Amino acid sequence: MEQRPFSDISYEQFLNEEKLMGSKCKACDALFVPPKPICTKCYSSDMDWVEMKGKGKLGAFTCIAIGPPSMIAQGYNRKNPYVSGVVELEEGARVDARIDEVDGNNPESIKVGMPMTVKFLHQEGEQGPRTTLAFRPA
């Protein structure tokens, strides 16, 4: 059984290991992705780690032409926008993610409701490796 604390730090460590993990309440089955240390439905603190299958559909998205310095450094700009979105997982939870392998210059080609599958974008950050959660069209 996985013993890591139900925290954002653990969530990110799992992403580095290419696992999309959430916490599930043992008492009422409520699911939290990213994980919560207590169940905010029934207030039990008896939680379990669960791994998501990484399948879902696109719930919302945006093609960002003017990004923060960190994205500009990766080569994104007005001519080369990147896409961020919200994916509704098969398990019922929703996650924020980069949306990869779509054309940010052609937003009409990206559809809310599209089936998506998980992808992990690994980068070398200032404090070591960092993984951004992403999804691509299935």
Question: Site residues (CB under 8 A) for another protein?
Answer: 8, 33-34, 59-69, 71-72, 78, 81-82, 84-86, 93-98, 104, 107, 112-113, 132-134
Nearer to another protein, 4 or 94 (CB): 94
Nearer to another protein, 8 or 90 (CB): 8
Amino acid at 85: G
> Who's near 112: CB < 8 A, 6+ residues apart?
58, 59, 60, 61
Nearer to another protein, 28 or 72 (CB): 72
7 backbone φψ class: left, alpha, beta (φ>0; ψ -120 to 50): beta
Please, what is the minimum distance in Å from the beta carbon of residue 52 to another protein?
13
Please, what is the minimum distance in Å from the beta carbon of residue 135 to another protein?
10
Q: Give me 8's structure tokens.
A: 């954002």
Please, what is the minimum distance in Å from the beta carbon of residue 65 to another protein?
5
Q: What is the distance in angstroms between the CA of the first residue and the CA of the last residue of the chain?
A: 30
Query: What order of strands is seen across the sheet that includes strand 31-32?
Result: 31-32, 21-25, 47-51
Nearer to another protein, 3 or 85 (CB): 85
Please, what is the minimum distance in Å from the beta carbon of residue 2 to another protein?
21
